[in-house]
Amino acid sequence: MSERSFDITLTVNGEELRERVDARSTLVDFLRETLSLTGSHVGCEHGVCGACTVRVDGAIVRGCLMLAVQCDGAKVETIEGLSDTGEIADLQQAFAERNALQCGFCTPGMLLTAQDLLKAGGVPSRETIRVQISGNYCRCTGYHAIVDAIEAVARARTGRGG
Ligand code: FES
Ligand code: FES
């Protein structure tokens, strides 16, 4: 069986790109290995841990379950892009202040998943926050500090105190 590759055009963190990708390359491998965007991590490689979470056309997806070739024409955003635009600066600060990260392996995916909830507005319940991040595994923190940080940012964004 011969290797097959395809030319795709896509936008990554606001930059238009034309790339040749192997048909079997996952989105997260493409981001890390071809574009050197190593903030998206690879953990389980089968859709369980959430370390590879990125945003495609506004929705969070598992970068290990999507092929790069499927992103032809798509708008892809990674932790690097969200950091550069300042979209999640308050979340990043809250995670740091509340010790919501230790080794940091889960953190990029956790931040994208949290922002996916918070951008809907309002102050979600702690239970809703826990459900939202239930697909993002953290081996270090025990999750409480992460929920605290997300809740604090939700309150701050809605002007209801932090
Ligand atoms: S590496 Fe994609 S969900 Fe674990
Ligand atoms: S901070 Fe280490 S896995 Fe979450």
Of all atoms in ligand 1, which is nearest to the CA of residue 50? 3
**Ligand 2 pocket, mutate which of 107, 146, 147 (most atoms under 8 A from CB):** 107
The residue among 155, 53, 58, 33 whose CA lies nearest residue 98 is 155
Pairing, β 15-22 against β 53-56: unpaired
- pLDDT at 162 (0 to 100): 47
Instruction: Say how many Å lie between the CA of residue 59 and the centre of ligand 1.
Output: 16
Of all atoms in ligand 1, which is nearest to the CA of residue 64? 2
Pairing, β 75-77 against β 5-12: parallel
Residue ranges for the chain with pLDDT beneath 50:
1-2, 162
pTM: 0.96
In a 10 Å sphere around its CB, with 0-12 CB exposed, 13-18 middle and 19+ buried, how is residue 120 labelled? exposed
CB atoms within 10 A of CB 162: 13
- pLDDT at 33 (0 to 100): 98
The 3-state secondary structure of the chain reads CCCCEEEEEEEECCEEEEEEEECCCEHHHHHHHHCCCCCCCCCCCCCCCCCCEEEECCEEEECCCCEHHHHCCCEEECHHHHHHHCCCHHHHHHHHHCCCCCCCCCHHHHHHHHHHHHCCCCCCCHHHHHHHHHHCCCCCCCCHHHHHHHHHHHHHHCCCCC
Instruction: Say how many Å lie between the CA of residue 45 and the centre of ligand 1.
Output: 4
**Ligand 1 pocket, mutate which of 45, 67, 110 (most atoms under 8 A from CB):** 45
**Ligand 2 pocket, mutate which of 134, 140, 144 (most atoms under 8 A from CB):** 140
- pLDDT at 70 (0 to 100): 98
- pLDDT at 161 (0 to 100): 64
Which residue has tokens 């896509």? 10
- pLDDT at 109 (0 to 100): 98
